[in-house]
Structure 1
Amino acid sequence: MVWLLLLVAGAIHALSFSPDPLPGWTLPYVQVMSLAVPAYIVFGTKRIRRAAMSVFVFSTSSFCVGVYWLYISMNHFGGMAAPLAALAVFLFALYLSLYAGLAGACTAWLGRDLNIMRVPQALGRPLLWACAWTLGEWLRGFVFTGFPWNNIGYAHTNSLLSAWAPVAGVYGVAFLAALASGLVASIVYYVKHNRPGIMAAMASALLGMFIVSFALTRITWFDNHGPAMTVRLVQGNIAQQMKFDPAQLMSSLQAQFALATRPAADIQRAPSVIIFPETILPTFQDRMAPEFWQSVVELAQQMDATLFMGTPVHTVIDGKDRYTNSVVAIDSDTSVSALMQGQELPVYDKRHLVPFGEFVPLGFRWFVDIMSIPLGDFDRGGQGQQSFAADNQLFAPNICYEDVFGEELLPSLHTQADGTPGASVLFNVSNLAWFGNTWALRQHLQIARMRSMETARPMIRATNTGSTAAIDAKGRVLAQLPSATANVLDVQIQGTQGLTLYARLGNWLIVILSLLGLGLGLVLKWRAARALNR
C-alpha cells in the first residue's frame, strides 16, 4: 500500500511543473504536498534502505510522468520501436531518481539519532531533508552534462518562494520548497503522535518562511535600461517531418519570412528586432547560395530591423572545419561574404550541447544508430561570447535547453573585459517540435520565467511550435502565442541593468549552505554516538 501511495504521489508531483492540466495557482501547493509524502516516510523510519527506496520510487514515478514526452522524440520522430522507447524513458527516470534516493538515504542516516521529541532537533529533520534534496538537485544538474529539468523550484514561479530566486537561484527556491514539504510532513507526524507544542513550532517555522519571502518581494533588483523597444517573435510551426526535408526547405523558409514581414501590430512602434526560432535554416549556412543570403539582408533592410536567425554554422579556422549550432545577427549592412564564411559577423555558438542530439556520448553510438533522427557532433561555443547590440540594448542569446542551466547565463550579465556593459535582454530560440504539443513546451516556459527572476532581465523566446512568449524582468509573462500555431508576436520589451545576488554568487551560496547543514548534521550524529558509548 505504501509503494502504491508513493507511485501516485510521484505522478501527481509531475503535474506541478507547468499549468494544464492543473491551474497555475495550484502548482506550488501540489508540489509541496506531494513531496511531503516521501518526506513523511523518511522521517518515520531509521532504516536507510527503506528511506532511499521510498524516495527513489516516488521520484521514478514523477520523472516517468513528467518527461514522458521524450518517448515522442524517440518513437514518433526517431522511429524507435515503442517498447524500446518506453524502456529508454523508464531507464532514464531510474537514473535521474538516483539523486533523490541518495537524498532520502542521507536524511535518514543523519537524522535517525536526533532527539525528535525536542524542538531544536525536531527541526533538524526537515532542514536535513532540504539540504540533501537541494544537493541532489544540484548534482543532477551537472553530472554527465546535467539534466536539471523539473527541478522542484520550477513549481514555484507563482508562489512567494520565487522571491528567493534573485538571492539564491532556482536551487535556493528548491531548498525552501523541500523545507516546506519537510515541515508539512513533520506537522502531520507530530499531530499523529499528539505533540501539539512541537507541531506548533513546525507551523511557526513554515509561516515565518513565507513572511520573510513576502518581505523579499518588496525588493527591486534592477533599473530600466534605455527606452522600451518592439521585438517581433516568429513562430513558424513547421512540422518536424517537414523541417529537415530538403524538398521542403525553401517553402518552410518562405512561410516564416512571410510571417516576419506582416504589418506591425502598432504602426507607430514597428519592430526593430525580429527573432526567428532555432535552426530556421536547418542546414549549414555555406550550403545556401549567396543569392539566398542577399535576400535575407534585403529582408532586414525592408523591415528596417535586425534579424536574429538560428542556423548551423560551418567555418574553417586554421585549416580545420568547425560546426556549431548558432544564432547570427543580420542587418542591412551585413556582408553576404561574411555570412557564407560564418566569420566577421555577430554570431553566438551554442555552448551546452544536448547529448544524443548535438553530440554522441562515448559508448552510445549504438543507441543513436537505432534512431533515424538527423544527429551530428557539433563543436561547443567558446566562453565570453559577445551579446548582440540592437537599438541601444544588448541581447544575450541562448539556444534550446541552454536556459535550463541558469548559472551558465550569468557571465553575459557582467561588464565585459573591454568595458562593454552586460546584457540587458536575454533571448532563447528553440525547436521543441521533437516533443509534439506536450507538457515539454509549458515546462520550458516555466524554466524561462525562473531565469528572468534570477537575473532580473527580460527573457524573450522565439520557438518553432511553442511556447513563444515575452517575459519581463520579474518573471511575468507579458504575452504568449498559442502552441502549434503559425504567427508572430510583437511585444514591447524594456531592457534592464543591475546584478542580483544570484548573478554575483551563482549557485555557490546555496550549495555551501546545504553542505554546511549536512556537516552540522554529521557533527550532531558523531556527538550522539559518543554519548551512547560513554
Structure 2
Amino acid sequence: MIAPTTARTANPWVRGALALCAGGAQAASLAWPGSGQPLWWLQLASIAVLAWLVRPPVPWRQAARYGGIFATTWLAGTFWWLFISMHTYGGLAAPLAVLAVLALAGFLASYYAGALALFAQLAPRQHRGLTALAFGSVWLLAELARGTWWTGFPWGASGYAHVDGPLAALARTVGVYGIGFVTAAVGMLMVQTQRTDLHRLRAWLLGLALLGGLGLLHWQRDCAIDLCASTSAPQPPPITLALLQGNIPQDEKFQPGSGVPLALRWYARALKSAQADLVIAPETAIPLLPQQLLPGYLEGLEQHYRSGAQAALLGIPLGDMRQGYTNSVIGWQLGQQTAYRYDKHHLVPFGEFIPPLFKWFTEMMNIPLGDFNRGALAQLPMHWRGQRIAPNICYEDLFGEELAARFAHPTQAPTIFVNFSNIAWFGDSLAIDQHLHISRMRALEFERPMVRATNTGATAVIDHRGKVTYQVPRLTRTILTAQVQGRDGPPTPYAFWAARWGLWPLWAGATLVLLLAWRTQRSATRPSLAG
C-alpha cells in the first residue's frame, strides 16, 4: 500500500504540466481567443484542477510550486498584450518585453504561491467543508493582495469569467472578489479525496446543486429588477448618446504631423455634428493641452454646447509644469458657466506615474510617459437631464471598491457610469474584450448602466443588468448613437458596504475562516490525554 504523501508527490512533472495547462485554461476562460467571450465553466474546471493538485495532505512546498506555476501561466496568458505596448509602440527589444511580462506575472503569482503554501499548513484534513472554505479564503486573500498592494493590478481576476454565468447573481452582494471565493470553494469541495464513490457523488451533486441554485437566483434577480422598476418611484427618463470612436492609430496619436491634426479635425467635426442629448469623446481624444491648441479651438466647442440643448464630455489632458498634469474629462452644458471637470484618481503604474527606482526602465521605451497628479477619490458627478453621470478613465473601472465610494451620499450617487478609454496601446488583442467584461461586472455590482467611449474599442452601452445593448465594431472610425436608461434608487448591498468599508469586510471574513481552520486543525492534531 502506497502512503498518501508518497502517492500525492508522485509524477511531479506531470502535476506541474497539469498546473501549467490549468493556468492557461484560466486565462482563456476570461475571454476565449477568437470569440472574446467569457467561459464560466472553464474557469471553474481550471480552479478545480488546481484544487485537486493542492488538496490535503500536500506538503506546503509543493502547494506553493503548483500555485506559482498555475498563476504565472494564467496571468501571463491574460495580459500578454503588454508585450505589444512595450515592443510595438515602446520600441523595447522583444526579448526584454517578454521578460518584463513574465517578471510581472511571476511577481503577482507569488501572492498565490504564498497563499497556497499557507493553505497546506492550515487546512483541516478531517473537515471537508471547512477545507473548501479555507481554500476559497486563501484564494480570496491572494486576489485582494494583487488588487490592492503596490497600487493594485487586478486585471483578469477569476470572477470576471462569470459575468454571463450563474454566479453573476452574487455580484450585487459580494462583488467580483466574492465570486472568486465561491468558485475556489466549490472547486475544492468537488475534488477532495473521499472514502467511497458515494461520497464523491454526493460532493459533485452538492456542487452542481449550488450552481443550479445560483443560476435560478440569477434569473430571479433579473425578474426582481424589472418588478422593482415597475413599482418603484419613476426613474429618470432615458437620454440619447453619441459615442465617438476616433480610431486614431496609437503610433500616430501623439505625432504632430499625422495623428494630432487628424484627431483635432475629426473630433471637432463629430462633436459639432453629432445629434444626441449627450456627446462623449474618449480618453485623450484631444491629445494636446488646452494651451497647445490653436486659439479658439476649445472655446468654439465650449460655445457650441453652452448655447444649445446638448451636453458633451471630452477626454483631454490638463495642467502645466508648475501645477502638474492630470488625465481629465471636461464637460459642457447649457446654463453651466463653469466647465465640469473630472481628474483621474487611480493612475497606471509606468504609464501615468513612474514607481521609485524604475525610471531606468521607462527611459528604454519610446512612449510619452509622465508623472500625473491624482484626482480625488469620490468626485461629484455631472448633472444632466435628471441623470448623475459619473466618469471613470481607462482601468479605473477595475477598482469597484473605488467606484463604490461614490454611493456614500445618496443624493450624489451615480445613475450612469461612463468609462473613457484608449487601449490602442494593446492593438487588436483580447485586452479589448477583457476590458468590456470588466465594465459589465461593474454594471452587475452596482446595477447601474456603464457607457464606454473608446479610441479603438470596445465602444458600447451596457445596461444595469450587465448586458451589452449597443456596440460598434472595433478599429473603425465611427459614431455610436444609442439610448441609455439611468438607474436611481437604493444602492446594491455591494455598493452599500463597499462605500463605507472598502474591501475590509472581505479581508476580515477570509482571515476569520483561516483562524477557524487553524484552530480546528490544531484541535484535531493535539495529543489525547486519555490513556
TM-score surpassing 0.5? Answer: yes
Mapped to 2, the partners of 1:408 and 1:158 lie a distance apart of 23
Contact 1:413 1:424 in 2 (8 A): no
Q: Deviations over 1:446-484 (max 9, x none)?
A: 000000011110000000001111000111111111111
**What amino acid maps onto 1:214 in structure 2?**
L
Contact 2:282 2:315 in 1 (8 A): yes
**What amino acid maps onto 1:110 in structure 2?**
L
Q: Residues 79-478 of structure 1: matches in 2 within 5 Å? A: 79-111=91-123, 113-115=124-126, 121-186=127-192, 189-190=193-194, 194-212=196-214, 214-215=216-217, 217-219=219-221, 220=224, 223=229, 225-248=235-258, 249-261=260-272, 270-300=275-305, 304-314=309-319, 321-331=323-333, 344-415=338-409, 420-478=411-469
Contact 1:59 1:97 in 2 (8 A): yes
In structure 2, relative to structure 1, the CA distance for the partners of 1:398 and 1:377 (3 Å cut) is same
**What amino acid maps onto 2:330 in structure 1?**
V
In structure 2, relative to structure 1, the CA distance for the partners of 1:532 and 1:98 (3 Å cut) is farther
Q: Deviations over 1:303-334 (max 9, x none)?
A: 74211011111169xxx513111000023566
Contact 1:277 1:462 in 2 (8 A): yes
Mapped to 2, the partners of 1:45 and 1:197 lie a distance apart of 18
Q: Deviations over 1:261-295 (max 9, x none)?
A: 556xxxxxx41101101001112222223411122
Match of 1:502 in 2: 494
Structure 2: gaps (5+ residues): 1-13
**What amino acid maps onto 2:430 in structure 1?**
W
1:68 partnered with 2:53: no
Mapped to 1, the partners of 2:262 and 2:27 lie a distance apart of 39
Contact 1:123 1:202 in 2 (8 A): no
TM-score normalised according to structure 2 size: 0.90
Q: Residues 478-489 of structure 1: matches in 2 within 5 Å? A: 478-489=469-480
Mapped to 2, the partners of 1:105 and 1:434 lie a distance apart of 36
**What amino acid maps onto 2:28 in structure 1?**
L
RMSD: 2.1
Q: Deviations over 1:68-120 (max 9, x none)?
A: 10000000011000000000000001011112112221221112x522xxxxx
**What amino acid maps onto 1:146 in structure 2?**
G
Mapped to 2, the partners of 1:303 and 1:74 lie a distance apart of 43
SS at match of 2:220: coil
SS at match of 1:134: helix
Match of 1:520 in 2: 516
In structure 2, relative to structure 1, the CA distance for the partners of 1:17 and 1:303 (3 Å cut) is farther
Shift of 1:213: 5.2
Contact 1:350 1:381 in 2 (8 A): yes
SS at match of 2:296: helix
SS at match of 1:478: strand
Mapped to 1, the partners of 2:386 and 2:82 lie a distance apart of 40
Q: Deviations over 1:14-53 (max 9, x none)?
A: 11112443573x7001111012111101015430000111
Mapped to 1, the partners of 2:204 and 2:514 lie a distance apart of 20
Contact 1:40 1:182 in 2 (8 A): yes
SS at match of 1:308: strand
In structure 2, relative to structure 1, the CA distance for the partners of 1:312 and 1:455 (3 Å cut) is same
Contact 1:168 1:509 in 2 (8 A): no
Contact 2:271 2:301 in 1 (8 A): no
**What amino acid maps onto 2:329 in structure 1?**
V
In structure 2, relative to structure 1, the CA distance for the partners of 1:76 and 1:532 (3 Å cut) is farther
* Bigger mean CA offset, 512-521 vs 367-376: 512-521
Q: Deviations over 1:337-357 (max 9, x none)?
A: xxxxxxx43100101000101
1:7 partnered with 2:1: no
SS at match of 1:522: helix
Contact 1:225 1:424 in 2 (8 A): no
State the identity as a percent: 36
Mapped to 2, the partners of 1:531 and 1:449 lie a distance apart of 52
Mapped to 1, the partners of 2:219 and 2:407 lie a distance apart of 22
Shift of 1:218: 2.1
SS at match of 2:370: coil
Shift of 1:299: 4.1
Mapped to 2, the partners of 1:515 and 1:304 lie a distance apart of 54
Contact 1:183 1:206 in 2 (8 A): no
Shift of 1:214: 2.4
In structure 2, relative to structure 1, the CA distance for the partners of 1:168 and 1:532 (3 Å cut) is same
Count matched residues: 503
